């Protein structure tokens, strides 16, 4: 994907993202991972992924250079919410592009998957009712991130941890989303 963006944009992928996405969205805490002098958090990784009881160890500076468009950036939950919010409605991207990003691919058999160009599409219970969720979760070495968007509710939540494979990050993000949805429902009920 990053090669396609570079070719169409006529500039390196990271520069394109800084100029066309991060700058316009005010994502001033999102940077190329290889950049020196970041004041980012210390990263940790379990000594053994399958036996977390063995403890954790500090993870040195990440090297995500081989990941290009799939994870060559470091960010914050606040900046991720800015990105997710921009993907709720046309503006940064055209409506057709947003639809493509939020539509699961179909297999040759015609069956639908839950995966749509980097995003998982599904439904969860929020505030006592079903809510369509378009999300991305990742656990690069030394971190865990969950970015949840709820296009029909106009809601975006991001959560992160500075350790690999933290199981509680996504459940925390879902609890925060549920709290916002419940607050919104109460506010809407009080206006009636």
- All residues at 6 or more sequence positions from 132 whose CB lies less than 8 Å from its CB, including other chains: 121, 122, 123, 150, 151, 152
pLDDT value for 65? 60
pLDDT score for 14:
87
How much is the pLDDT for 37? 46
Q: What is the mean pLDDT of the chain?
A: 85
Query: What pTM, to 2 d.p., does this model score?
Result: 0.84
Q: Are 152 and 132 in contact (CB under 8 A)?
A: yes
Q: Do 2 and 13 form a contact (C-beta atoms < 8 A)? A: yes
Which CATH code is given to the segment(s) 2-106+113-190?
3.40.710.10
Q: Domain ranges for the chain, please list them.
A: 2-106+113-190
Q: Stretch 151-175: mean pLDDT, rounded? A: 93
Q: What is the pLDDT of residue 190?
A: 81
């Amino acid at each position: 994907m990053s090669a396609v963006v570079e070719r169409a944009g006529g500039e390196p992928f990271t520069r394109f993202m800084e100029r066309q996405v991060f700058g316009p969205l005010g994502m001033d805490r999102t940077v190329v991972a290889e950049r020196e002098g970041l004041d980012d958090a210390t990263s940790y990784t379990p000594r053994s992924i399958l036996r977390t009881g063995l403890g954790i160890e500090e993870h040195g500076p990440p090297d995500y250079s081989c990941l290009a468009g799939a994870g060559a950036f470091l960010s914050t939950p606040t900046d991720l919410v800015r990105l997710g919010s921009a993907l709720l409605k046309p503006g940064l991207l055209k409506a057709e592009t947003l639809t493509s990003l939020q539509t699961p691919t179909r297999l040759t058999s015609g069956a639908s998957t839950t995966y749509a160009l980097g995003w998982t599409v599904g439904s969860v219970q929020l505030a006592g009712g079903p809510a369509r969720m378009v999300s991305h979760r990742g656990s690069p070495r030394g971190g865990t991130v969950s970015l949840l968007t709820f296009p029909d509710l106009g809601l975006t939540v991001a959560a992160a941890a500075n350790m690999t494979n933290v199981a509680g990050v996504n459940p925390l993000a879902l609890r925060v989303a549920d709290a916002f949805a419940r607050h919104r429902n109460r506010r809407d009920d009080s206006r009636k």
